[in-house]
């Protein structure tokens, strides 16, 4: 379904639901090709035979730079997709793009981050002589690596004032393996940092639709290495959470986690800490860092699409109609929409707003690892 418009405006977007790597790569290449094509970002289902897909994409696009990751669902030019691949092609006359991979997340300290950022900036400057181009950064992280917080905080320190956002790679809620793609192959326990500079107006944003309730849960026992909470309010965590949401522990699943999120409050803002699963010992595993003594506030969802469409309208008012919104959409949001029968309405809204991207296992915004949000960048049409 290479349904990208043939128009040569950059960035161009395309999707393919062919499960055959060669055919999918060929369809994308046909839609994105252009004499100025300088970089392709892609997001694909973890169901693809990844090694073959990577090779097919390299054959189809070389020497164009490729970066991407596996997903928990795709956002194609026509809205939500699943089991497919979506891609964005950036022309080099409008966008100077540089990529780097962090292969060792544990060892990623400030000196490494500084070198990486300096290299990206130099690379972009070499590709884009335009002095008034401004940069932003997209981060793609292995969503099961449990090291997002430190990597992001370190990277943020090196980025200084450069706006950044991103998403954690997914695997359709199987929680087995998630991968990022860079340097010609798929990698786990890795991060990809993509710096994009352009004279186009852009805005990095994040939003969620969750509002605080009265109830508070204090984390009283934690296994911070595994992002596991054993106790809430000095009771077994799963039991206490099940009591809060009025269910039994056996009933707890991703749908319930999506509808009944927990958040930490810092200042006036609430940051959702999403639950990943219940383990056999009655502990709750999270998608993000947890700590003993943190206070979790029970949250309730407000109408998600109303909220999202308001944010998209505001962006459009500030930047003019965007040429593209690259969106990192938490997969729990999509679960909630599907449970409410609103997935089609969401698809229409996303397609109209020219959103392309993927469903994540966590989002990143200005060095923060956040959950259950819609986070991305809107890129204006005018230079």
Binding site for other proteins (CB under 8 A): 146-147, 149-150, 152-153, 156, 161, 218-221, 224, 227, 231, 233-235, 266-267, 269, 271, 288-295, 365-369
Closest approach, Cβ 74 to other proteins, in A, equals: 27
Closest CA to 170 of 47, 51, 70: 70
Closest approach, Cβ 337 to other proteins, in A, equals: 26
Closest approach, Cβ 191 to other proteins, in A, equals: 14
Closer residue to other proteins in complex, CB, 97/159: 159
How far is Cα 219 from Cα 296, in angstroms, rounded to an integer? Answer: 7
Closer residue to other proteins in complex, CB, 200/270: 270
Neighbours of 37 (CB within 10 A): 19
DSSP secondary structure letters along 256-292: HHHHS-EEEEETTEEEEE-EEEE-TTS-EEESS---T
Closer residue to other proteins in complex, CB, 273/354: 273
Closest approach, Cβ 293 to other proteins, in A, equals: 2
Closer residue to other proteins in complex, CB, 38/367: 367
Q: Any idea which residue has 């809205």 for tokens?
A: 79
Closer residue to other proteins in complex, CB, 86/105: 105
Residue 322 C-beta-side C-alpha neighbours within 13 Å: 25
How far is Cα 219 from Cα 216, in angstroms, rounded to an integer? Answer: 10
Closer residue to other proteins in complex, CB, 6/269: 269
End-to-end CA distance of the chain: 30
How far is Cα 143 from Cα 114, in angstroms, rounded to an integer? Answer: 23
Which residues, 6 or more positions from 91, have their beta carbon under 8 angstroms from its beta carbon? Answer: 10, 11, 34, 36, 37, 38
Closest approach, Cβ 147 to other proteins, in A, equals: 7
Residue 356 near residue 376 (C-beta atoms within 8 A): no
Closest approach, Cβ 50 to other proteins, in A, equals: 28
């Amino acid at each position: 379904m290479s349904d990208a418009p043939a128009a040569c405006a950059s960035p161009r977007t395309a999707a393919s639901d062919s499960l055959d790597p060669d055919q999918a790569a060929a369809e994308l290449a046909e839609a994105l090709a252009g004499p100025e094509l300088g970089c392709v970002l892609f997001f694909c289902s973890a169901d693809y035979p990844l090694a073959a897909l990577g090779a097919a994409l390299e054959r189809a696009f070389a020497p164009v730079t490729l970066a991407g990751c596996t997903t928990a669902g795709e956002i194609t030019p026509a809205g939500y997709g699943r089991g497919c691949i979506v891609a964005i092609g950036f022309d080099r006359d409008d966008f100077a793009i540089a990529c780097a991979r962090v292969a060792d997340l544990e060892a990623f300290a400030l000196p490494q981050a500084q070198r990486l950022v300096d290299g990206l900036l130099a690379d972009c400057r070499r590709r884009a002589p335009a002095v008034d181009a401004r940069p932003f950064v997209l981060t793609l992280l292995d969503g099961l690596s449990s090291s997002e917080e430190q990597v992001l905080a370190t990277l943020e320190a090196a980025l200084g004032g450069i706006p950044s956002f991103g998403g954690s790679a997914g695997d359709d809620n199987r929680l087995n393996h998630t991968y990022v793609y860079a340097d010609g192959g798929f990698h786990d326990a890795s991060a990809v940092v993509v710096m994009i500079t352009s004279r186009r107006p852009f805005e990095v944003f994040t939003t969620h639709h969750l509002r605080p309730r009265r109830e508070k849960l204090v984390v009283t026992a934690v296994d911070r290495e595994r992002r596991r909470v054993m106790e809430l309010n000095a009771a077994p965590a799963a039991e206490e959470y099940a009591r809060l949401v009025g269910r039994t522990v056996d009933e707890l699943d991703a749908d319930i986690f999506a509808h009944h999120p927990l958040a930490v409050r810092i200042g006036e803002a609430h940051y959702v800490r999403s639950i990943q699963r219940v383990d056999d010992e009655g502990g709750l595993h999270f998608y993000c860092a947890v700590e003993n003594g943190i206070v979790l506030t029970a949250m309730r969802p407000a109408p998600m699409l109303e909220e999202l469409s308001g944010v998209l309208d505001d962006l459009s008012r500030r930047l003019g109609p965007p040429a593209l919104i690259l969106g990192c959409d938490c997969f729990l949001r999509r679960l909630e929409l599907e449970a409410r029968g609103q997935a089609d309405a969401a698809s229409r809204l996303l397609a109209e707003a020219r959103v392309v991207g993927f469903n994540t296992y966590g989002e990143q915004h200005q060095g923060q690892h956040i959950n259950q949000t819609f986070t991305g960048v809107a890129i204006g049409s005018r230079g």
